[in-house]
Amino acid sequence: MSNQGIVVINSFVYLIGGDNNTRGFRAESRCWRYDPRHDRWFQIQSMQQQHADHCVCALGGYLYTIGGRDHHNELKVVERYDLQTNTWEFVDPLKQEEEFGFNAETQKLLSKNGETLLGAINFFICSVKTLVDKTIEDTMVNIKQYENARIEYDAYRTDLEELNLGPRDATTVPKIEQSQYAFQAYREKYEKMRNDVSIKLKFLEENKVKVLHNQLVLFQSAIAAYYAGNQKQLEQTLKQFHIKLKTPGADTPSWLEEQ
């Protein structure tokens, strides 16, 4: 097979039409879908007509096959595949004078959705960067401080134990009292650092489970909506996570948007 149309929708790879090389490069109407969960290709409903060297895109939850050629002629027909019913149907064909307009509209939509997707990706990267560079790094600093406090606490505790095992006289009693005072101060410091580390680790675990999980859901949903050509779903995904994005070019529309 060669000259197929390929598109990704909802994590499934669709292989549409193309040339069957075993039959002398004859255009095909057959279609397949790859399911990564089972690592298998499944044949889906064939198109109404053979297509090769054609354009395939996803838009609004549908899959479109546009133009191309059959065994002999260039095609202007457009077919639409319904993922829910596993059926193909003809829609309005391309007209010669409409081809450039259709391409411009497609590019405009891709540009707009691409900027929105880029904003979502940047938000995802920023959130992960905050988790790694700030939350995790801050926790590591606290752990190091806790380790130092533990070493100091152990040292002063050992000194106090050795003094308590020795004789008590006018010379040693002031040393014992001074050691007791220092031991108490470092014990309080050690216990404070231990509590701080415990809180930071709990907070880090919550971030890992909640924040990072939510960001991965956002990332996956945004990618899926973009490749499905579903602008509303893409925007709804951002609203769901309370993200207000100022996408590139928001102040100044691109030349495509001005047309």
The pLDDT, as a whole number, for residue 121 is 78
The CATH class, in words, for 106-240 is mainly alpha
Q: Is the pLDDT of residue 242 over 60?
A: yes
Q: Is the pLDDT of residue 43 over 90?
A: yes
Distance, in Å, from the CA atom of 211 to the CA atom of 232, rounded to the nearest integer, reads: 24
Closest CA to 158 of 168, 146, 167, 150: 150
Mean pLDDT (the chain) is 80
Domain coordinates in residue numbering, the chain: 5-94, 106-240
Q: Is the pLDDT of residue 179 over 60?
A: yes
Q: pLDDT tens digits for 52-103? A: 989 999 888 899 999 888 878 888 899 999 999 999 999 988 765 555 555 5
Find which of 21-25, 106-110, 122-126, 139-143 is predicted with most confidence, using mean pLDDT: 139-143
Q: Work out whether the CA dihedral 32, 37, 40, 43 comes out positive or negative.
A: negative
Q: Is the pLDDT of residue 201 over 60?
A: yes
Distance, in Å, from the CA atom of 152 to the CA atom of 146, rounded to the nearest integer, reads: 10
Burial of 64 (0-12, 13-18, 19+ CB in 10 A): buried
The pLDDT, as a whole number, for residue 228 is 64
247 band by pLDDT with thresholds 50, 70 and 90: very low
The pLDDT, as a whole number, for residue 12 is 92
User: Could you give the residue ranges of the DSSP H alpha helices within the chain?
Assistant: 99-130, 137-165, 172-206, 212-227, 231-240
The pLDDT, as a whole number, for residue 255 is 36
Quick one: average pLDDT of 217-231? 71
The pLDDT, as a whole number, for residue 241 is 65
Q: pLDDT tens digits for 128-164? A: 787 777 778 888 888 898 899 999 989 988 988 888 8
